């Protein structure tokens, strides 16, 4: 990972945590190990999707549930963890995240 990418990744984490007030946006647990989750997987977003519009603070328990969707593309076990649900929690959408991610290219 290049220097700029590392910086963008760190900036992504701190901005997401700051916006979310350092709590899990799903269960409101304050956890020492919050994750800045990519709502749409970084491989499916232009420039890795390191933007506020694609990030949400999750505790480790909720993060596992959200990752379950990325792995299986199914939500039957964790119905509230579909990307659309997560986007609505932060007032975003796939389209907003995509557009913001595309604009990142000038920084990388
Ligand atoms: Zn949680």
Name the token pair of 16.
Answer: 């997401």
Q: What's the 67 CA to ligand 1 centre distance in angstroms? A: 13
Give the predicted TM-score (pTM) of the model. 0.88
Sorted by where each begins, the domain ranges of the chain are 3-106
What string of pLDDT tens digits covers the 108 residues of the chain? 567 888 889 999 999 999 999 999 999 988 678 999 999 999 999 999 999 999 999 999 999 999 988 777 766 678 889 999 999 999 999 999 999 999 987 655
pLDDT at residue 6, rounded to an integer: 87
Q: What's the 108 CA to ligand 1 centre distance in angstroms? A: 31
Q: What's the 106 CA to ligand 1 centre distance in angstroms? A: 33
Q: What's the 85 CA to ligand 1 centre distance in angstroms? A: 14
Give Cα 10 distance to the centre of its chain. Answer: 13
Ramachandran angles phi, psi of 42, nearest 5°: -60, -25
pLDDT at residue 104, rounded to an integer: 83
d(CA 25, CA 100): 21
Ramachandran angles phi, psi of 91, nearest 5°: 60, 40
**Among candidates 56, 43, 44, which has minimal Cα distance to 12?**
56
As a 3-state breakdown, the chain gives helix, strand, coil percent values, each rounded to 5, of 60, 5, 35
């Amino acid at each position: 990972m290049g220097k700029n990418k590392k910086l963008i990744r760190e900036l992504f984490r701190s901005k997401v945590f700051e916006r979310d007030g350092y709590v899990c946006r799903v269960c409101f647990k304050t956890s020492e190990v919050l994750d800045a989750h990519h709502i749409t997987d970084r491989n499916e977003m232009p420039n890795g999707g390191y933007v506020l519009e694609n990030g949400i603070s999750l505790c480790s328990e909720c993060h596992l549930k959200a990752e379950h969707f990325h792995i299986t593309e199914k939500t039957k076990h964790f119905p509230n963890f579909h990307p659309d649900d997560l986007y609505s929690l932060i007032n975003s959408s796939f389209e907003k995240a995509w557009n913001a991610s595309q604009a990142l290219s000038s920084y990388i």
